[in-house]
Amino acid sequence: MARDLADPIRFDGRVVVVTGAGRGLGRAYAHLFARLGARVLVHDAGVSRDGTGGDPGVAAAVAAEIAAAGGTAAVCTADLCDRAGCEAVVAVAVAELGGVDVLVHNAGLVAFAGIEDQDAETVERVVAVQAVAPFWLCRAVWPRFRRQGYGRIVLTVSGVAFTVDRALVDVSPYALGKAAQFGLMNSLAVEGEPHGIRVNAISPVAATRMYRGETDEGELAPELVAPAVAFLASEACDRSGLVVRAADGRLSAGAYRSGPEVDLGRVLVAPEAVRDVLPTLLGA
């Protein structure tokens, strides 16, 4: 495949906020943005996989790595479980790096248990970070994006929330949050269009601490997802409402689409009528 690098994607002069950037995917994103010239806010509360605990050194270590490589980074360790924490992320970016041009919401939590065994406190943390925090983060950057006539938002979704084929039996709060971000993406894609704001989503598959499968060395590396995120976050991406799935160097893209339509008429029909047209609706 020919690669045209005559018009390279760069982030010189841009400030990029990456949540959950202390490990795994977020760390890979932060490093790539920095190499491409961005000033990067490395956000990470340093919590465990289910949101407990906290280690500020996790974010600081990545920022130090970026600085050692000649890049520019600032650190934020705010808890994303409430509105104040989300607003603090944006405030730190503005105060320390001079603004915000890109928001990548990568932070996420997961608790592996069936729906009856999910602990209430853990569910609230997972849903707060996966479903509510994206709203408050986007709301915090929105006035600035609108005033400057430019902004890029990349949310994070997952196939486990969209298809039965990829669904898992023990991650319902996680799936709830990922599906919520899909809805938020679609809504803000429309709202942001007149203001030069583009909102898209990444559906990553990578061997991070949330991944439970077996992998060989180098397989499903987080770094293989980062280029897709960088594109969606760049000026080169002038579309909204895209979901790009990135897994081990393989890319696919999609959006919600309706299937074939059957007109049953503006009359009250029996449920059996729906049953009988279902194969047509499903394209069978």
Kindly state the tokens that stand for 23: 């490990």
Contact 277, 264 (CB under 8 A): yes
- Given 29, 150, 174, 211, the catalytic residue: 174
Q: What is the largest CA-CA distance in the chain?
A: 70
Question: Is 174 labeled as catalytic in the residue annotation?
Answer: yes
Question: How far, in Å, CA of 112 to CA of 91, rounded?
Answer: 33
Annotated active-site positions, please? Answer: 174
